[in-house]
Each structure stands twice: as C-alpha cells, then as structure tokens.
Amino acid sequence: MSELKLKSGIFQPIEKEGEIKLYCCGPTVYDYAHIGNLRTYVCEDILRRTLELNGYKIKHVMNITDVGHLTSQADEGNDKIEKAAIEQKKSTWEIAEFYTESFLKDIETLNILKPHIMPKATEHIKEMIEMVKKLEEKGYTYKTDDGIYFDTSKFKKYGELTGRSFEQLNKYLKAGMRVCYNQQKKNITDFALWKFSPENEKREMEWDSPWGIGFPGWHIECSAMSMKYLGETLDIHCGGIDHISIHHTNEITQSECATGKKFVNYWVHCNFLLVESKKMSKSLKNFYTLQDVLDKGYGWREIRYLLLSGQYSQELNFTLRNLEGIKTTIKKFGEFMTTLKDVDFEKNCIDLEEIINNSKENFLKNLNNDLNTPEALAVVFDFMNKINKFISDRTLVKEESEKCIETMLWFDKVIGLKLEEFLEETEVSEEIKKLVEERESFRRGKNFEGADKIRNKLKELGFQINDSESGPKLKKID
C-alpha cells in the first residue's frame, strides 16, 4: 500500500492502532454557507475518506462557532452573530440554531460525512475559561480595558506556520493596518482570550468569568474543544488557507503554551474557490449558496464533482459553464452504472482482474499524493472507458460486470457520488410504465417528435428517461 503524502510530510499517526485525531474548524453560524466555504468541508471529507480507504479509524471533530466571532479575525469589529440577530430581528440563539441546521443540511446534501463530534462553543465556555486560567498562571496574559489578551512576544515560535517571525509579522501587519486597533495591546499580533461585555450593556450571549462578564475570543474555542475531545496533540488539523496567518497561528500559540506539547502534527489547508479570479466571499458579494446553485437546476453531484475537480491546495475557479459541462459527466456515471447492472454477455473478459487491480492501485496512489482528486478521477474515467470498450465488444459476463460495479463503489468510498443510487430500481406506476412503452414504440417507428413529447411529459411527472444499451431507464428527479 502507498503512504499518504501530505504537504507537511508523509503521514505517520500518533497511535499506530488507535484512532486518527482529526480536527476541522467549523462554520460561524451567522449566515448560509457559500460553496466556497463548502469547498473546504468537501476537501476535509476527501481527506477523511482517503484515510479510511487506507485502513485508518478516524475520530473527526468539527466545532460550531455559535458565539463571539468578530467581523475581523483580529478581535476587532462586531460579533457576526449579534449583527445578524439585529438585522433579522431575532435572538442570537435563534440565529445560531437556524444556521447550524442549515449547515448540517448542506453537508448532508453534498454527502460530506458528518463529523463524529460537533461541539458548540456556547456549551464549552467552562473549558475555555480553564485554559485561559492556565495561560494566566503561566504568565502569558495581560488585561486591557476590553479583555484579557495573550502576549505573543512570549512565544518564541510565534508565526512559524506563516513562515514569518514574530517581528516580521508585527511589522507586516502594522504596514497593512488601516483602522485604529486597541491601543493597549502590547503587540499587534496579541489576541483576545476573553472579551468583556461593554459596560452598562447586557449581551444575549455572555458568561461570568474570573475576569468579569464577557465572552470568549474566537481562537480559544478551537484549542479548548479540540483538546477536550482529541487530547493535547492532534494528528491533523484542517481549515481554509485564510486561517493560517491568524486563527491557526494563535491556536498553536495558546495550545502549546498551555500544555508545553506540540499541538498539531499535520496541517491541511484548503485553497480558495474563486469567481472571476477573486475569492468567493460574502464581502465581495460574488457568492452562491448551495441552494442558489441547486435552484439553477444543477444537482448536488455536479457541485460535489466540481469541487473535486481541482486539487485542494490549488485555487479553483467556479463557473456555471463548468457545472453545465459536469452535467454530462454525471450522466456518464449514471449510464455506466445502470448499463453494468444489466450486462450479461457470453464472452469472458481476459484482462479484467489486472485492470481492476491497477485502477484501484492508481486511484489510491493519486489520493495518497496529497489528495490529488483530479488525477484520481482521471483513473476512474480511464477504468470506465476500458470497461465500456468491453461492453461494446460484448465481452463481459455477469460475474465480471458485478466486479466492475464493486470497483466503482470502491472508488465511490472517496468520491462520494452515491453511485449505488443509480443501481436502484425505480418504482413506477402503471401510467408511467405505459408512457415508457408508448415512447419506445414511437422511437422504433422513428417518430422522434412524439417520443420527445413523452419524455417531456415524464419530466413533468418527475422522471428522467435515459436510453441505454439494454433499453430505457427511468430515474426519479431529485
């Protein structure tokens, strides 16, 4: 078996026989996720599925940020959830609950495996306070008028993940700064561990603490929750690349200072989904939610496939034209599966065993090469092309076509397009059956206009009809 090579090195688990400790930064639940956000979660899903295909057991934790994430990563601006609550005239708790549900629905729609544990920040305030107390005891913190801060000058390795030193980062951030920051901060890179509620103002989400009533900083929640569920050192930590410079740098800093141990062995950062060469983002208003794209008539498989069509560490462009092209690709998958189901020729195919073994080996090799999904998909296509050739030569017995189905379902353990659904028989009424027969007789009589009319009628009734080698196939439209 090939080894899994990640950007940060060949993967070696902490425990050879135990579970892989996988932590992924989850959503801030103040709005719908856009498909740029979802690209990151699909990438993490591919990582988890690849680890599983390599035989590892995984413990996958993803937090839900339902409190205190300010509009800037660097502790400035408004609380995103509070802002949404004011705009939508709802409570912060209602906003958080609503968008948590919508996120869970999105990941289910895209067939992203649900993390085993999804802790909410609001349910782990105690653990966060404990961690801040520990950092305070060790002398890493100081107080300003608006909160308790971490003194980043005290951590020698500060900024290592970014490739810049503490001094370089401070200089760089100062040069790029447009707005006034908390003047009481000792260093620009210092970050809030605990923020005080504004005086004479009661926030909906606030808690008592040894330092006063307030709410936790964003970064501390990931350290406290990942450690609670996975221990002090994680195998793999994931997130979007925009988290490298502040959020993940600060997570490392506070975690390693609290425990004296290495926090993360491997980092996996997903690059951006772009729209016309710009990052898809809420602030640029160039985003699509999952529902936006589904409403345009594309299926979830097309969207998932598009997100797999680029390697995660590269930027990926999103266009509706790409999605349009992928429609044909998904159709090919469906036709291939339904054709295989009915294939039962008399002649054996001599090389099949070798083709299957080589394809599986190459598929895994590409995934193990830093999750190279486009190359892995190319292997699947190569396999389908070879088998299609056998089918047109009428050399594939039933037992062999079943092996091909098994192979496709094995690929699907990672690509996650629910290919098994193409094999399911569609239950249809007598009326539908009659329409299908009528269309067949039109087709036989070369009355294509009449056949197309029935195709449209079936569509209105919720069925798509595809013509395959072994006759017409009906599929329920989602």
Residues that bind Zn ion (CB under 5 A): 25, 222
Distance CA 450, CA 458 (A): 13
Q: 399 and 410 in contact (C-beta within 8 Å)?
A: no
Burial of residue 155, with CB atoms counted within 10 A of its CB: 0-12 exposed, 13-18 middle, 19 or more buried: buried
**From the CB of 383, what's the least distance to ligand AMP, in Å?**
30
Q: Is there binding between residue 118 and ligand AMP (CB under 6 A)? A: no
Q: Is there binding between residue 115 and ligand AMP (CB under 6 A)? A: no
**From the CB of 239, what's the least distance to Zn ion, in Å?**
6
**From the CB of 64, what's the least distance to ligand AMP, in Å?**
10
Q: Is there binding between residue 402 and ligand AMP (CB under 6 A)? A: no
Q: Is there binding between residue 40 and ligand AMP (CB under 6 A)? A: yes
Q: 238 and 39 in contact (C-beta within 8 Å)?
A: no
Structure tokens that stand for 401 in this block: 């076509």
Q: Is there binding between residue 270 and ligand AMP (CB under 6 A)? A: yes
Q: Is there binding between residue 273 and ligand AMP (CB under 6 A)? A: yes
Closer of 111 and 259 to Zn ion (Cβ)? 259
Q: Is there binding between residue 215 and ligand AMP (CB under 6 A)? A: no
Closer of 74 and 356 to Zn ion (Cβ)? 74
Greatest alpha-carbon pair distance for the chain in Å reads 87
Secondary structure of residue 67 in the 3-state scheme: coil
Stretch that binds ligand AMP, among 23-31, 115-123, 200-208, 392-400 (CB under 6 A): 23-31
Burial of residue 9, with CB atoms counted within 10 A of its CB: 0-12 exposed, 13-18 middle, 19 or more buried: exposed
Q: 260 and 156 in contact (C-beta within 8 Å)?
A: no
**From the CB of 243, what's the least distance to ligand AMP, in Å?**
5
| Burial 231-249, CB ≥16 within 10 A → b, else e | ebbbbbbbbbbbbebbbbb
Q: Is there binding between residue 248 and ligand AMP (CB under 6 A)? A: no
Closer of 236 and 415 to Zn ion (Cβ)? 236
Among 94, 130, 232, 242, binds ligand AMP (CB under 6 A): 242
Please give the angle made by the CA atoms of 341, 346 and 348, to the nearest 5 degrees: 90
Closest CA to 95 of 40, 24, 103: 103
Q: Residue with CB nearest ligand AMP? A: 240
Q: Is there binding between residue 95 and ligand AMP (CB under 6 A)? A: no
Partner touching 270 among ligand AMP, Zn ion, none, CB below 5 to 8 Å by kind: ligand AMP
Q: What are phi and psi of 316, to 5 degrees?
A: -135, 135
Partner touching 27 among Zn ion, ligand AMP, none, CB below 5 to 8 Å by kind: ligand AMP
Residues interacting with ligand AMP, by CB under 6 A? 25, 27-28, 36-37, 39-40, 239-240, 242-243, 270, 272-273, 279-281
